[in-house]
Structure 1
Amino acid sequence: MTYFKNRTFKGIAPAVSPRLLNEEYGQEAENIGFTSGTITPSRVDSADSTFSAASRQSVFIYRHRTATGSSATTPRQLEWDEDYVKAVHSPLATDDDEYQRVYWTGSGTSGAGTNYPKMASQAVAIGAGSFYPSASYRLGIPAPTAAPGTSISGTATATQEPDSVSYVYTYVSAYGEEGPPSAASTAIDKTDGETVALSLATFPSGSYNLTKMRIYRSNTGSTSTSFQFCGEISSGTSFNDTVASTGLGEVLPSTTWVGPPDDDTSKYPYGPLENLINVGNGVLAGHSGNRLCFSEPYLPHAWPVQYRLTIDGTIVGLSATANGVVVLTDTVPFFVSGVDPSAMTAMQVDVMQSCVNKHSIVDMGEYVLYASPDGLVAITGTTGQVVTNGLVTAGQWNSEFKPELIKAFLHEGTYVAYWKDGSSYGGWVYNPKAEDNIISKISLSSEVRGGTTDIGSGNVYLIVGSNAMRYQGGSTNKTAKWKSKKFLSELPISMGWVSVNAAIWPTALADAITVKVYGDGQLSANYQIYSGAAVSVTKIVTVAAGKFVIDGVSQDTLTLKEGSTYTFDQEDATNANHPLRFSTTIDGTHGTDGVEYTSGVTYSGTPGVTPGAYVRIVVPTDAPTLYYYCANHSGMGGTANTSLSSPYIMRNGSTDTNLYEPIMRLPATVAQEWEVEVETKYEVTETCIAQSIDEIKAT
């Protein structure tokens, strides 16, 4: 005798013939999480918040301190219309950055002069306005465009050899960010007894939030010709230097602290900085064209030219790993590492796979995943591999998995991807945590335009319409679908039975587990099975157009199971003067010889008047077909069929059959190739098709 039993379930491997699949793999796997080895349906997504416009394409969950001195953080939703805005928190620790700044690239319009890297403090980002960020500043501090003017006055100190000095000055923001210096003034001779009056250029126009100017003076009388701090002003454009040579302060720190590439096309013909990422150790990174750029450690406004590398190939996107930066290009990937941004080295990764889509790049922690022409690629350091090899062919990858169209995210160690192709939508999940790499698909009815992973909670938030949908954030399950491999018998045979086991059984037909059996590709059986055990159900009753409306359905035909408890909630005001009753006669006491049925029936309160008013029935054993009606008015009710209480109920077409085990008889079909398909909102732990019932019951 022959049987085929599945107790372990995995995802799909379309590269393998359905006949040659390992038993645990399926031809179809949709809306399933496979971490437990069972068919575990994914949860539905939940609407977490609403965007201020349906045009949003990028979102970032910005976290700031809930209160001063608190380690708790409060999430805020930053949103943009532009595609692929990349935002990061301050590279300083939350407690170290008193302004709790956030930085981003990719927002703004070139023609409008707003397409440049941006930053904001907490007060600016979540200030006034109907959405966040409320406002922003340019990232980076400009250098003054003119050298300081000088004039000297006073009496020279006769006993002092004059120093040949010159001056530079810098701009400083309200956050203490200092920019590069101006050109040096013409050198003049000065002794301590003389005063040098400096005239400085005004703050430039633009969104910089500048509040101070710092003045530095060279001191050739010392062992160094560096510029040293002389003083600062917070208003005006004049400064009088009366500082003695021995009174000069720190050496100018910001000589190389230019801002990141911006919208100045004369300097940056390949455009402003984009694809901003946090590399770690206080360093941010991004790129302009094929030039990879790094910030000064813990100074995200400073992007020295010396910290820039030219990459061979057009950069598509970036991702950080534990010990470096993975640079994905239109040719081959590179791994960039070093002990400091000033000493970074680019090495080609040992996999010849270009990146076809920047939205596919996901930082998985110790490695990076991205979409290539041949499959999903994982990179760790200088080592790479196509992890979907053996599961998906290159042709299937491009036609079914849409690598050039996906938008991918990290969720609890899995890679979640969504795509839109014309009017079609879909998605898939790659789970590298399982014993074998597992792929399953996601059913989708609306476009996912973008999204983000919240680093604080690990939740993924998707942009769907005007809503931020939390991935698998709902309390109910999607309908999971799994179809087995094609089991091949040596000779054509007739399978007599099919069984399914669930961790928890649904208690209503609407949630029943569907089991389909195919023989030689033809549908042989299509059953729905659910628990027949006693349940406790509440149904909401209202009245409309002179009819009882049960759970939104006017004069609904009900099925009441023996031993189960049904509470008909009549609290709604429309129930006033309409007490619901039961009878064995159509329309109850309004019909011929009709009497009220009272077995197992209790009442509480006055319908439509008393809060919590209800009618409750515990359906007795062998209860007849019942009819519900209004005690005061005819024609308002409907039918309440009763059914036997049994462990399981099977629906075949429109016929219900009571079962004492979840084992179902198959119609007489002779075939050589057999498949089992399950659709379920509940966890399924086993399926089996067999010639005899004894084989199903065998361990």
Structure 2
Amino acid sequence: MRIKQNVFSGERPRVASPISREYEAQIAENCDLSRGHLRALKNNARIENLTETGDVQSLYLWKKSGDDEWIAHTSALDFCRSPLAGEAHDRVYYAGLDEPRVLSTSNLSVPFDFSTDYYKLGVPAPTAAIDSLTGYSGGGSGYRAYIYTYVVKLGTTDAEEGSNSTIAEISDYTSGDVTLGGFTAPPTGRSIGKIRIYRTASSSSGVAEFLFVGEFDTAGVDFSSYTFTDNVSDADLGEAFACENWSVPPTTLSGLIAPDGGSLAGFVGNRVYVSEPYLPHAWPYSYPVDGTIIGLGHIGNTIVVLTDESIYLMSGQADALSTQKIPGRYPCSSKASIVSCENGVFFASPEGIVLVTLDGPTLYSYEYFTQQQYSDNYSPSAIRAAFYNGQYIAFHNNGAFAINTRDQSMVRLSAPLDAAAPHISLSDSRLYFVYKDVEGVNAIYEFADDDAEDYMQYRYRSKEYILPGMSNFSAVRVIRDVSEFQAINTEAFESGADGVVNGEEVNAGVINGDGTARTYLGVMFRLYGDGILLHEQEITDDQPFRLPADNLYRRCYYELSGDTPIDEVAIATSMEELDAA
């Protein structure tokens, strides 16, 4: 009789272990099973300390020209990169504070200060019309109407234009220049640096439209006395005004996302707000749903609206989105659990992890755990998630787990219990999070750092095997893959310093590190019979070894712990059976 395992998969707690698949585990912790063999995950690497001392809820890496900036905050913020192709100012849009805001390389201090280096998102319309129109010859029947707008300037670039003021009219125009006065000064905090003026002219169809007259910079202007002279003939008027109803987003906008198609979207209460495509400062559209919105995701250019009751899909052009309510009750438990990815939109519900696609929702975690297991062990309302390397990784109050969508396996992670603010950097697809150490210092860590030379300690407990009768296994062989670790050990031994490799401290700042130079190649093997530990032995080579002969049991499983890759485990009732075909 022999047990042989050379394919290793993750956990499926929903299924009683004796009837699980041969290659599934009771416990798979810190395991990389992506190649079918048992590997340890690379260790988490400490990137840098933060000055923020509170409980961090948000983390973002602003990739920009020059030095990159880490942003950490105690509020739940939503960040989106600019949807504009060829973005010249590295703009990032975010919501969750007093109003939606924009970061831009044109508004930076040295050093960067997140609390001040921003401007408010959106360009408001002037609050009053031009109140003085003079200098022209009157008495005729000519008609002119004027409006003006504010323009955001980023450096020397006219970047964003807002909606118009109310109309100022002349109904007796005959001829001459018109002097305009009484402009309203723009509000502060929005990087407004210019005013544009438009006036009516009759089109070939006889329809009046506002055409560009001129503009002036607002810097240094005394608005109590400033005047602008319109001496432009009808033939020389410029482009038509195109920014009508380009309102600013609500100050309490939340859940900011960037679906495909160039628009941004967010929500307030039960209403979804959408910007003009590729004009993220202009927010003329909104659409209501039933229930209170918890958060948003997207599948391509389809907005997935997750509420405390149901799921809605919004699709189409920004100015005419159609809303489809998905049948069934699918409440969202945690805004921080929402992840938009290649598979669709994942989120935590009271019943489990749900995946929404254009075909509808499915309870994705059904194959892995029951609703009771989920609610007892994974604190659904506290899940903070990210999609990393094909995995939905969920940090919760009791640790973390990862569901691999490519090989349909689940592993648990020995992440710090209070790991916070998971963030995927879009530029390098790496996963970062914040952890507060025992000294109360918040620091940024990279999850399973690809560049790390050390590994987490895995723990792998096999399925439970029910034997034909009371039995006793007598021989074991564990085959390791030591090729990578032999090189690491050689370097460590040749360094001649305890805890140092090439002059650098090993495991410095790594959560799972112990601060001393470690040698690899060893694995701890344990055999359990009827729930009792029967044998424990460190494996340092691939040679078979014998088990005690004085135990009889009906049920058994084995456990491996360490950081060395494992290709195969064989357990048999005799040495000869280990090599049986």
Q: Same fold (TM over 0.5)?
A: yes
Q: What is the rounded CA distance, in whole Å, between the counterparts of 1:59 and 1:130 in structure 2?
A: 16
**Taking structure 1 as reference, are residues 678 and 690 closer, same or farther at Cα in structure 2, changes over 3 Å only?**
same
Aligned counterpart, 2:387? 410
Q: Deviations over 1:298-324 (max 9, x none)?
A: 1111101xx211012211111122241
Q: What is the rounded CA distance, in whole Å, between the counterparts of 1:482 and 1:351 in structure 2?
A: 38
Aligned counterpart, 1:259? 248
Aligned counterpart, 1:50? 49
2:77 is matched by which residue type in structure 1?
V
- Match of 2:445, SS state, is strand
| Residue 88, structure 1, aligned to residue 80, structure 2 | yes
2:150 is matched by which residue type in structure 1?
Y
- Match of 2:577, SS state, is helix
Aligned counterpart, 1:7? 6
What is the correspondence of 1:316-327 to structure 2 with a 5 Å cutoff?
A: 316-327=294-305
- Judge conservation of contact 1:165–1:220 (CA < 8 Å) in 2: no
Aligned counterpart, 1:427? 400
Aligned counterpart, 1:452? 423
Q: Structure 1 residue 49: deviation in Å?
A: 2.2
Q: What is the rounded CA distance, in whole Å, between the counterparts of 1:323 and 1:254 in structure 2?
A: 23
Q: Structure 1 residue 524: deviation in Å?
A: 0.6
What is the correspondence of 1:431-442 to structure 2 with a 5 Å cutoff?
A: 431-434=404-407, 437-442=408-413
Gaps of 5+ in 1: 67-73, 108-114, 263-271, 532-647, 649-660
Aligned counterpart, 2:211? 228
- Match of 2:28, SS state, is strand
1:288 is matched by which residue type in structure 2?
V
| Residue 687, structure 1, aligned to residue 566, structure 2 | no
- Judge conservation of contact 1:349–1:381 (CA < 8 Å) in 2: no
**Taking structure 1 as reference, are residues 351 and 41 closer, same or farther at Cα in structure 2, changes over 3 Å only?**
farther
Q: What is the rounded CA distance, in whole Å, between the counterparts of 1:350 and 1:366 in structure 2?
A: 21
| Residue 29, structure 1, aligned to residue 28, structure 2 | yes
Q: Deviations over 1:47-83 (max 9, x none)?
A: 12222223333111222245xxxxxxx643223231x
Q: What is the rounded CA distance, in whole Å, between the counterparts of 2:113 and 2:145 in structure 1?
A: 48
Please point out which of 137, 151, 166 is paired with 2:119: 137
Q: What is the TM-score normalised by the length of structure 2? A: 0.87
Q: Structure 1 residue 143: deviation in Å?
A: 1.0
Q: Deviations over 1:409-450 (max 9, x none)?
A: 121111111122xxxx4100010111xx11110013452121
Structure 1 window deviating more from structure 2 (147-156 vs 163-172): it is 147-156
2:3 is matched by which residue type in structure 1?
F
Superposed CA RMSD in Å reads: 2.1
**Taking structure 1 as reference, are residues 509 and 664 closer, same or farther at Cα in structure 2, changes over 3 Å only?**
farther
| Residue 500, structure 1, aligned to residue 478, structure 2 | yes
Aligned counterpart, 1:274? 254
- Judge conservation of contact 1:495–1:668 (CA < 8 Å) in 2: no
**Taking structure 1 as reference, are residues 518 and 451 closer, same or farther at Cα in structure 2, changes over 3 Å only?**
same
| Residue 371, structure 1, aligned to residue 314, structure 2 | no
- Judge conservation of contact 2:9–2:36 (CA < 8 Å) in 1: yes
Number of residue pairs aligned between Structure 1 and Structure 2: 530
Gaps of 5+ in 2: 437-441, 490-517
Q: What is the TM-score normalised by the length of structure 1? A: 0.73
- Judge conservation of contact 1:78–1:131 (CA < 8 Å) in 2: no
- Judge conservation of contact 1:79–1:131 (CA < 8 Å) in 2: no
Q: What is the rounded CA distance, in whole Å, between the counterparts of 1:382 and 1:332 in structure 2?
A: 15
1:64 is matched by which residue type in structure 2?
K
Instruction: Give 1 or 2 for the bigger CA radius of gyration.
Output: 1
Q: Structure 1 residue 220: deviation in Å?
A: 4.8
Structure 1 window deviating more from structure 2 (143-152 vs 17-26): it is 143-152
Q: Structure 1 residue 361: deviation in Å?
A: 0.7
**Taking structure 1 as reference, are residues 313 and 196 closer, same or farther at Cα in structure 2, changes over 3 Å only?**
same
Aligned counterpart, 1:79? 72
Please point out which of 377, 380, 384 is paired with 1:400: 377
Q: What is the rounded CA distance, in whole Å, between the counterparts of 2:50 and 2:519 in structure 1?
A: 37
Please point out which of 110, 117, 124 is paired with 2:100: 117
Structure 1 window deviating more from structure 2 (44-53 vs 26-35): it is 44-53
- Match of 1:251, SS state, is coil
Q: Structure 1 residue 528: deviation in Å?
A: 1.1
- Judge conservation of contact 1:181–1:254 (CA < 8 Å) in 2: yes
- Judge conservation of contact 1:414–1:430 (CA < 8 Å) in 2: yes
- Judge conservation of contact 2:254–2:266 (CA < 8 Å) in 1: yes
Q: Structure 1 residue 326: deviation in Å?
A: 1.1
Q: What is the rounded CA distance, in whole Å, between the counterparts of 2:137 and 2:173 in structure 1?
A: 10
* Structure showing greater relative contact order (alpha-carbon pairs closer than 8 Å, 6 or more residues apart): 2
Q: What is the rounded CA distance, in whole Å, between the counterparts of 2:136 and 2:46 in structure 1?
A: 73
Q: Structure 1 residue 135: deviation in Å?
A: 0.9
Please point out which of 463, 483, 508 is paired with 2:434: 463
Q: What is the rounded CA distance, in whole Å, between the counterparts of 1:351 and 1:688 in structure 2?
A: 48
Q: Structure 1 residue 137: deviation in Å?
A: 0.7
- Judge conservation of contact 1:498–1:666 (CA < 8 Å) in 2: no
Q: What is the rounded CA distance, in whole Å, between the counterparts of 2:432 and 2:253 in structure 1?
A: 25
**Taking structure 1 as reference, are residues 124 and 79 closer, same or farther at Cα in structure 2, changes over 3 Å only?**
farther
| Residue 163, structure 1, aligned to residue 142, structure 2 | yes
| Residue 250, structure 1, aligned to residue 250, structure 2 | no
Please point out which of 293, 311, 314 is paired with 1:333: 311
Q: What is the rounded CA distance, in whole Å, between the counterparts of 1:290 and 1:475 in structure 2?
A: 49
1:665 is matched by which residue type in structure 2?
L
What is the correspondence of 1:245-644 to structure 2 with a 5 Å cutoff?
A: 245-262=234-251, 272-304=252-284, 307-338=285-316, 340-350=317-327, 352-420=329-397, 425-434=398-407, 437-465=408-436, 466-473=442-449, 474-504=452-482, 512-531=522-541
Q: What is the rounded CA distance, in whole Å, between the counterparts of 2:234 and 2:203 in structure 1?
A: 8
Instruction: Among all aligned residue pairs of Structure 1 and Structure 2, give the percentage whose two residues are the same amino acid.
Output: 27
**Taking structure 1 as reference, are residues 123 and 154 closer, same or farther at Cα in structure 2, changes over 3 Å only?**
closer
Please point out which of 101, 125, 136 is paired with 2:91: 101
1:174 is matched by which residue type in structure 2?
K
Q: Deviations over 1:244-300 (max 9, x none)?
A: 2222221111111111111xxxxxxxxx11111111222111111111111111111
Q: Structure 1 residue 350: deviation in Å?
A: 4.9
